[in-house]
Structure 1
Amino acid sequence: MDDLLVRLREHLPADAVITDPDITGGYAHDMASFCAAGTPAVVVLPRTVEQVQHVMRTATALRVPVVPQGARTGLSGAANASDGCIVLSLVKMDRILEVNPVDRVAVVEPGVINAVLSREVQKLGLYYPPDPSSWEMCTIGGNIGTASGGLCCVKYGVTAEYVLGLEVVLADGRLMSTGRRTAKGVAGYDLTRLFVGSEGSLGIVVKAVLALRPSPPPQLVLAAEFATAAAACDAVVRIMERGHTPSLLELMDRTTIQAVNRMAHMGLPDSTEALLLAAFDTPDPAADLAAVAELCTAAGATQVVPAEDAAESELLLQARRLSLTALETIKSATMIDDVCVPRSKLAAMIERTSAIAAKYDLTIGVCAHAGDGNTHPVVCFDAADEDESRRARESFDEIMALGLELGGTITGEHGVGVLKKEWLARELGPVGIEMQRAVKHAFDPLGLLNPGKLF
């Protein structure tokens, strides 16, 4: 320990190396439940690439594990510390280095907050689409690490589609560049995509070149109420089958709606079983909403209400963004699942999740990026109740098994971390895991980077 601190402090400012246990304890874990976290030896907050390189060279020389972190808003334990590790928090590397409206790229450090980048590029008439629910807090580095998504994925895609190039500090301290800043490029293996979603297990992202789009017109939102979740999912199928491309298509079940109303007093229709939100940012969004309104009515909507302006639209979107936070107020703890299924299986996923809630006598609220089949069943439970905690974990596992049964995946945007290691092995199979481990060994032969995550 003494040798580690002496070496770290040789090339780091004093305030960048933290050993006070009252402070380092706050860096031990992210926001996931049921994920073990160790006690870090030290927390380091670098401000430059060179300082990150020094940390990794020191860690390699002393064989000390390193856990990279962003804002710790993750939901899978991917940022959890291991005993005796260096927690490498990148939140101080928060500069937007360049915004180029001609090339339509932004160059940023990993600690830049998603919402800060979005607002900055908007000043130039540009748009960075990935918008996780935690966009006011989460960092671009964390978004890259977990390949995060957001409300706009149905039209604009996920983080991986906007990362053009990276600068990465490898486990031994070497600096590597991947990708490009051009519109096209196919030189060699796509190592940029390899790092997106790697959860800090292959290297430390210290710079990212991100693709931008022209700002779309202001979007208008429609809210449709349904007597059953199955009817709401039927509306989703009809909307996508007819070739519409909404800028978002979100679903909230009754439990979620009621939770949002209790927390934020937003006046949502909490007597309905499902609320579908559809939005368009096209040149004529009102016409698109009218067409979708007809499809919702045909699917059995009991009421369809289009927003009249951007302010009403934003109010509805805020309700959806508050869903996970509101569900956390039901009990002392939550487990937030992240199962993505084909759109055609969305109704089965939601209906059978309701049956799982009844089987285990638990409250499970569901909100979903319905347009791409990404459901977020939220298991609410009392962490102090041993039996209820056991039932919560069993229900969580049953929901993941259901997702795989329906042809889906265990995680659409939250990552694997600690929480879903066992399930990653089930999804990929033994050969897939063997190849994943081979990739990990190629980049991190000593196994120092974020040990115990993924597999």
Structure 2
Amino acid sequence: MTTVSTPVSQPLLDRLRAALGADSVLVDPDVTDGYRRDMMPLAPDGAPQAVVFPRNTEEVQEVVRTCAAHGVPIVPRGAGSGLSGAANATEGCVVLVTTRMNAILEIDADNRLAVVEPGVVNLDLRGAVEKHGLFYPPDPSSYDWCTIGGNLSTNAGGLCCVKYGVTSDSVLGLHVVLADGELLKTGRRTVKGVAGYDLTKLFVGSEGTLGVITQATLALRPLPQAPATTVAAFGTTADAGTAVTRIVREGIVPSLMEIMDAAAVEAVETYLKTELGAGRGAAALLICQSDSGGEAARRELAAIEQVCLDSGADLAYTTDDPAEGRLLLAARRAVLPALELYGAWLTDDVCVPRTRIAELIAGCARIGDEVGLRIVVCGHAGDGNMHPTIVYDRDSTDELARARRAFDDVLGLGLALGGTITGEHAVGKVKREWLVRELGPVGLRTHRAIKTALDPTNLFNPGSMFALE
């Protein structure tokens, strides 16, 4: 990408520097280009006027007031680990990066909550609360570098969603800077509370289009037991899908249930130089964990193992060795970097009813054959959230076009199977047209009305999620 200077408003720049300090306002295009986009290669981006790094809520308010006064849009950004283009800069905007707001302000073990700033890294929070015997469940695959603010903005999920839910299920309250620079405080610190509209859930998943989150009160859980793990290999994806359906139907709730197709297993084994025990010819690998501990975990996994065998698994194996469990989870998290052995990757994010997972995997194989590209499927079988990932040559214009076609075909397939276009990566700037199809005219009109009410001048992240016109 060629670095191009964007015209900068000197009065805007002067006011930002006065508020934040010169070291917190970057304008050198060789530096600011690194903040233009997230991890989604298809989403559009533009050159920002400036990239700013506020250190507290008051500085965020000053940035918002300054940009509003000068008519310059703001794109909030965390670590940039997103996969939808939601944090991509628009031409001439100010990118507001929250990574310097990285304090864990409070851990209240008695009330099982934490108060954090948006720049706290997910894994750092998990480690900090673990010292108090507590657990923060949301665990996106990028949890070792993604930030809580980004997780909140996209309502991120992760491998433990089947038992613990997505980010919104762990949020009690927020501090949000609105378009007029005022600070809105939503939610509560209590376990229950139904006073007024649920504004907290409105802002979680809003992709920075309604305001800038500067603080979050998060619900914690007791630290679970070290998990035991079951892995099962299947000769067909249909059999794996049957096992998932039966596990759910029988009321078994593992803490984790992941699926990998044959191509994903092959890539990971090559990348990690290890064997996952799937056996040759396995079409799908199912990984389940239980963190219930002791006899309860043994019962859960024994039941899962039996369901897998009854559903046609070629082998099923259970271990309570934490090291083996970590190895399998590391393999699952390594799918995307493993695919770089074959080329660039483009990952999709569709969620379908759990009874349709096998159909989705088969449909993705068909789409891959049609476009002539490798499509690898893995995902969260416990909640139907799949991540078909298309591998292509980034230097080939033709392959990029075919990858884009495959990406859209997968979204269409997900909707056709009764699903949604995104389970956890968000809409961003890459799925705007598809959101219109999913919401319908009344749903889209309602979204626009909310956006206009809270952000009448379209200050925050314009063009993300949907267009106002």
Report if TM-score (shorter chain) is over 0.5: yes
Please state how far the C-alpha of 1:266 moved relative to its aligned partner: 2.4
Please state how far the C-alpha of 1:389 moved relative to its aligned partner: 1.3
The one-letter code sitting in structure 2 at the alignment partner of 1:300 is G
Deviations 1:14-58 (A, max 9, x none): 211111111100000000011111001000001111110000000
Q: How far, CA to CA, are the matches of 2:279 and 2:37 in structure 1?
A: 34
Q: Is the 8 A contact 1:17 1:43 kept in 2?
A: yes
Match of 1:208 among 216, 221, 232: 216
> Is 1:218 aligned to 2:226, yes or no?
yes
Greater Cα offset, 411-420 or 257-266: 257-266
Sort the Cα spacing of 1:165 and 1:187 in 2 relative to 1 into closer, same or farther, 3 A: same
Q: How far, CA to CA, are the matches of 1:6 and 1:261 in structure 2?
A: 53
The one-letter code sitting in structure 2 at the alignment partner of 1:4 is L
> Is 1:329 aligned to 2:329, yes or no?
no
The one-letter code sitting in structure 2 at the alignment partner of 1:278 is C
> Is 1:349 aligned to 2:357, yes or no?
no
The one-letter code sitting in structure 2 at the alignment partner of 1:296 is C
Matched residue of 1:25: which SS? helix
Q: Is the 8 A contact 1:70 1:138 kept in 2?
A: yes
Match of 1:425 in 2: 436
Q: Is the 8 A contact 1:170 1:203 kept in 2?
A: yes
Q: Is the 8 A contact 1:340 1:374 kept in 2?
A: yes
The one-letter code sitting in structure 2 at the alignment partner of 1:222 is T
Match of 1:278 among 288, 295, 307: 288
The one-letter code sitting in structure 1 at the alignment partner of 2:250 is R
Query: 1:17-416 maps to which residues of 2 (within 5 A)?
Result: 17-268=25-276, 269=278, 271=280, 272-283=282-293, 284=295, 285-331=297-343, 333-416=344-427
The one-letter code sitting in structure 1 at the alignment partner of 2:384 is G
Match of 2:6 in 1: none
Matched residue of 1:428: which SS? helix
Matched residue of 1:371: which SS? coil
Q: Is the 8 A contact 1:258 1:270 kept in 2?
A: no
Report the TM-score when normalising by structure 1: 0.98
Matched residue of 1:161: which SS? helix
Matched residue of 2:20: which SS? coil
Q: Is the 8 A contact 1:257 1:270 kept in 2?
A: no
Q: Is the 8 A contact 1:266 1:319 kept in 2?
A: no
Q: Is the 8 A contact 2:227 2:320 kept in 1?
A: no
Deviations 1:308-344 (A, max 9, x none): 411111111111111122123321x222110000111
Q: How far, CA to CA, are the matches of 1:33 and 1:166 in structure 2?
A: 31
Deviations 1:244-264 (A, max 9, x none): 010000000111111111211
Q: How far, CA to CA, are the matches of 1:270 and 1:73 in structure 2?
A: 33
Q: How far, CA to CA, are the matches of 2:205 and 2:339 in structure 1?
A: 26
Q: Is the 8 A contact 2:36 2:46 kept in 1?
A: yes
Q: How far, CA to CA, are the matches of 1:350 and 1:243 in structure 2?
A: 24
Please state how far the C-alpha of 1:432 moved relative to its aligned partner: 0.8
RMSD over aligned CA atoms reads 0.9
**Runs of 4+ displaced beyond 3 Å:** none
The one-letter code sitting in structure 1 at the alignment partner of 2:70 is L
Sort the Cα spacing of 1:416 and 1:270 in 2 relative to 1 into closer, same or farther, 3 A: farther
Match of 2:454 in 1: 443
Q: Is the 8 A contact 2:336 2:345 kept in 1?
A: no
| Structure 1, unpaired ranges of 5+ | none
Please state how far the C-alpha of 1:188 moved relative to its aligned partner: 0.5
Identity %: 53
Deviations 1:169-228 (A, max 9, x none): 111211110011111111100000000000000000000000000111111111101111
Q: Aligned residue pairs: how many?
A: 454
Matched residue of 1:292: which SS? helix
> Is 1:10 aligned to 2:21, yes or no?
no
Deviations 1:102-159 (A, max 9, x none): 1110000000000000010000000000000000010000000000000000011110
Please state how far the C-alpha of 1:270 moved relative to its aligned partner: 6.5
Greater Cα offset, 146-155 or 2-11: 2-11
Match of 2:3 in 1: none
Matched residue of 2:14: which SS? helix
Q: How far, CA to CA, are the matches of 1:180 and 1:326 in structure 2?
A: 42
Q: How far, CA to CA, are the matches of 2:448 and 2:342 in structure 1?
A: 39
Q: How far, CA to CA, are the matches of 1:218 and 1:303 in structure 2?
A: 24
Q: How far, CA to CA, are the matches of 1:108 and 1:330 in structure 2?
A: 39
Please state how far the C-alpha of 1:349 moved relative to its aligned partner: 1.0
Q: How far, CA to CA, are the matches of 2:11 and 2:163 in structure 1?
A: 52
The one-letter code sitting in structure 2 at the alignment partner of 1:426 is R
Q: How far, CA to CA, are the matches of 1:335 and 1:261 in structure 2?
A: 20
Matched residue of 1:319: which SS? helix
Match of 2:465 in 1: 454
Q: How far, CA to CA, are the matches of 2:369 and 2:315 in structure 1?
A: 28
